[in-house]
């Protein structure tokens, strides 16, 4: 015998399949569910409130940029059953729901808007535009892209500020050459202290010989930031570097998802000391 | 080999291992610069690297090894079972659980983590000591330890499952992997009083442990206070293992390998095993930590992983040898 719950899910899946609208990208997609906190940002930042059928359970947490807007919406666990019970027209995700969720949802007729991983500011902008278009909010995407261009131009107009800048998270991760953070540091008119490629961990020995002028301290704002027993940032050598450099606090919410609001971080890094 | 020669040899090995550990790091430092820094005459950067980064890390590995080696030797003496050690008996896992519970509930400071680790270790050793009184079966005791370890692992998995955010997962997970990377003198200073207390308990119990090797009745006849001995070893193992876990997380098998290797040199006397086993435990972990830094992996291998990879086969080998003898 087929359990009643399974039957109801299959029925909903069938209904979802039948009611699927072949979305023209200029049309607004109704009833969208977000599967992770990065996707939440795109949905909260680009969609109209009436388009949002549900957000991820992390939407209102401290590392969510639009957490203040999230309280008005229902949260849904990124599980197939819970998603289907909300009868969405589309879901939006970066990683939420696991690797097999896309295939499953598409098989039952739910459109999946997959946000790509941004590797630089150009792809940050492109993500905003393509995601906005997929949500039926192409104009909003263009507005955000134009705003990004304006802010970057303003940073460029400031000129080179100098000062080696280390992006350091509370867990001890550092951003090397390449990637969004490196570009933010350079666009802010400074140079990246970390000269290795990609992400790495803080090398305490290097700090013994050479100190950054500016430390862009990421994720030091979280509730557990100060308690990570394993982080090199607890070490006296790192603590001294943090005391001696100019520290610019970069809330985790600004950079966690590499969405358009990462420019907040660039502006903070570029800001004169009294404004940072 | 006399005990004194063995101890002197191990002290020399320990000093050599710690000095060797000071030669390895991300900054290439020739031996001359390392020795200049060790004497305080080096360049300021070199002095910081040696005295604040490399030496504390090496001493942390040594301290953890001493604590686990001594705890293993003492527990083996008390339970008269060469397979007993903090990792196998779940003491390390319970200590790590104590630390992660504090972390999970947002009450983590240096001191609360250390105290929680020691509470977890003491609870586990007390439970084992109670079980040891009630059963004479070595297998039952080991199984209780395995059960404790599994339970602690399950609760830690639950905490990982309920982690408040994706960023705290690594923090919780690291307690089970074990590492002395980024340890400073502050970490050593925090654990030192508890470790000293644990080692003192073992030192006081050493003679009784030697007598206990002849059997409980004979030991009693020789005037050994069994209850006091049990209490000293339980308290010592709880304090020392808790101190070790508070520095490095859960690191297994050192407590089984070190006593096993020194036992033939001290006439299989549990009391005489304590000091050399603790020194050898220290040497093993310093060498292990040199190993994790030299193995070219994308991210540094965890010391606890390395210890388990080497220690687990030795554990199986010891168990197999025991089975063959019996």
Q: Which fold has domain B59-325?
A: ABC transporter involved in vitamin B12 uptake, BtuC (1.10.3470)
Count of other CB atoms within 10 angstroms of residue B137: 12
Rounded to the nearest angstrom, the minimum Cα separation between B46 and chain A is 8
Higher pLDDT, B164 or A157: A157
A240 and chain B in contact, CB less than 8 A: no
B167 and chain A in contact, CB less than 8 A: yes
Of A58, A230, A237, the CB nearest to B171: A230
pLDDT at residue B244 is higher than 80: yes
Contact A229 B99 (CB under 8 A): yes
Percent of chain B with pLDDT over 90: 54
Chain A CB contacts of B181 under 8 Å are: 230, 232
Number of A/B CB contacts below 8 angstroms equals 79
Chain A residue with minimal CA distance to B163?
Answer: A224
In the structure encoding, which two tokens stand for residue B245, read together? 């876990």
pLDDT at residue B317 is higher than 60: yes
B109 and chain A in contact, CB less than 8 A: yes
Of B48, B167, B181, the CB nearest to A237: B48
**Average pLDDT value for chain B:** 89
In angstroms, the CA A93 to CA A43 distance is 10
Rounded to the nearest angstrom, the minimum Cα separation between A191 and chain B is 22
Sketch the domain layout of chain B as residue ranges: 59-325
What is the model's pLDDT at position A19?
39
Of A58, A209, A234, the CB nearest to B182: A234
Per-residue pLDDT tens, chain A, 276 aa: give them: 445 554 554 444 444 443 333 344 446 678 999 999 999 999 999 999 999 999 999 999 988 999 999 999 999 999 999 999 999 999 999 999 998 999 999 999 999 999 999 999 999 999 999 999 999 999 999 999 999 999 999 999 987 888 999 999 998 999 999 999 999 999 999 999 999 999 999 999 999 999 999 999 998 886 656 567 788 999 999 999 999 999 999 999 999 899 999 999 999 999 976 554
Chain B CB contacts of A61 under 8 Å are: 165
Chain A CB contacts of B103 under 8 Å are: 224, 227, 229
pLDDT (tens digit, 9 = 90+) per residue, B265-316? 999 999 999 999 999 999 999 999 999 999 888 888 899 999 988 888 888 8
Contact A206 B27 (CB under 8 A): yes
Number of residues assigned to chain A: 276
Count of other CB atoms within 10 angstroms of residue B226: 16
Of B27, B46, B108, the CB nearest to A227: B108
Contact A172 B182 (CB under 8 A): yes
List the domains of chain A with CATH numbers: 28-144 (3.40.50.1980), 160-270 (3.40.50.1980)
A117 and chain B in contact, CB less than 8 A: no
Let me know: does A23 contact A136? Beta carbons within 8 Å: yes
What is the model's pLDDT at position A4?
54
What does B222-274 look like in DSSP terms, one character per residue? TT--HHHHHHHHHHHHHHHHHHHHHHH----SHHHHHHHHHGGGGTT-HHHHH
In angstroms, the CA B287 to CA B24 distance is 11
Higher pLDDT, B24 or A14: B24
pLDDT (tens digit, 9 = 90+) per residue, A83-139? 999 999 999 999 999 989 999 999 999 999 999 999 999 999 999 999 999 999 999
Chain A residue with minimal CA distance to B56?
Answer: A235
Residue A80 exposed, middle or buried by CB count within 10 Å (0-12, 13-18, 19+):
middle
What is the model's pLDDT at position A155?
95
Highest mean pLDDT pick, B61-65, B171-175, B188-192: B61-65
pLDDT at residue B110 is higher than 60: yes
Of A208, A227, A231, the CB nearest to B53: A208
């Amino acid at each position: 015998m087929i359990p009643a719950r399974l039957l109801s899910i299959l029925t909903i899946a069938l209904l979802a399949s039948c009611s699927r609208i072949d979305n023209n990208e200029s049309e607004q997609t109704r009833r969208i569910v977000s599967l992770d906190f990065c996707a939440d940002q795109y949905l909260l930042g680009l969609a109209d409130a009436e388009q949002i059928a549900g957000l991820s359970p992390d939407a209102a947490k401290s590392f969510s940029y639009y957490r203040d807007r999230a309280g008005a919406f229902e949260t849904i666990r990124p599980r197939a059953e819970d998603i289907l019970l909300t009868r969405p027209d589309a879901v939006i995700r970066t990683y939420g729901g696991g690797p097999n969720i896309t295939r499953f949802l598409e098989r039952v007729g739910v459109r999946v808007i997959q946000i790509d991983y941004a590797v630089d500011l150009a792809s940050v902008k492109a993500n905003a535009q393509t995601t906005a278009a997929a949500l039926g909010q192409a104009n909003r995407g263009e507005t955000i892209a134009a705003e990004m261009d304006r802010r970057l131009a303003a940073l460029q107009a400031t000129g080179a500020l100098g000062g080696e800048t280390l992006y350091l998270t509370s867990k001890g991760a550092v951003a090397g050459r390449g990637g969004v953070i490196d570009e933010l540091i350079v666009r802010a008119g400074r140079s990246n202290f970390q000269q290795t490629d990609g992400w790495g961990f803080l090398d305490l020995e290097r700090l013994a010989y050479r100190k950054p002028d500016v430390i862009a301290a990421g994720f030091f704002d979280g509730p557990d930031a100060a308690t990570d027993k394993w982080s090199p940032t607890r070490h006296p050598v790192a603590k001294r570097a943090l005391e001696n450099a100019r520290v610019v606090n970069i809330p985790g919410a600004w950079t966690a998802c590499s969405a358009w609001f990462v420019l907040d971080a660039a502006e903070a890094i570029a800001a004169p000391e009294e404004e940072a | 080999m006399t005990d004194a020669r063995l101890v002197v040899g191990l002290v020399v090995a320990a000093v050599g291992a710690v000095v060797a550990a000071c030669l390895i790091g991300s900054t290439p430092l020739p031996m001359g610069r390392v020795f200049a820094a060790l004497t305080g005459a080096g360049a300021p950067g070199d002095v910081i690297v040696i005295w604040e980064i490399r030496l504390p890390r090496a001493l942390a590995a040594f301290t953890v090894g001493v604590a686990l080696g001594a705890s293993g030797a003492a527990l083996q003496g008390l339970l008269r079972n060469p397979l007993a050690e903090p990792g196998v008996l779940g003491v390390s896992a319970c200590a790590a659980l104590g630390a992660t519970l504090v972390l999970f509930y947002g009450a983590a400071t240096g001191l609360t983590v250390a105290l929680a680790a020691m509470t977890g270790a003491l609870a586990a050793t007390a439970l084992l000591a109670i079980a040891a009184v009630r059963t004479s079966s070595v297998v039952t005791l080991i199984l209780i330890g395995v059960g404790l370890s599994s339970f602690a692992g399950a609760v830690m998995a639950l905490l990982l499952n309920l982690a408040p955010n994706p960023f705290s997962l690594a923090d919780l997970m690291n307690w089970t992997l074990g590492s002395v990377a980024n340890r400073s003198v502050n970490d050593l200073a925090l654990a030192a009083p508890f470790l000293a207390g644990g080692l003192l308990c073992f030192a006081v119990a050493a003679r009784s442990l030697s007598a206990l090797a002849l059997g409980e009745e004979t030991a009693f006849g020789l005037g050994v206070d069994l209850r006091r001995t049990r209490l000293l070893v339980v308290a010592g193992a709880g304090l020392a293992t808790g101190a070790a876990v508070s520095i490095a997380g859960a690191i297994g098998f050192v407590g089984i390998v070190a006593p096993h290797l020194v036992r033939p040199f001290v006439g299989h006397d549990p009391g005489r095993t304590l000091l050399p086993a603790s020194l050898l435990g220290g040497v093993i972990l310093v060498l292990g930590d040199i190993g994790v830094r030299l193995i070219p992996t994308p991210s540094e291998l965890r010391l606890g992983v390395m210890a388990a990879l080497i220690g687990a086969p030795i554990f199986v080998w010891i168990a197999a040898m025991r089975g063959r003898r019996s």
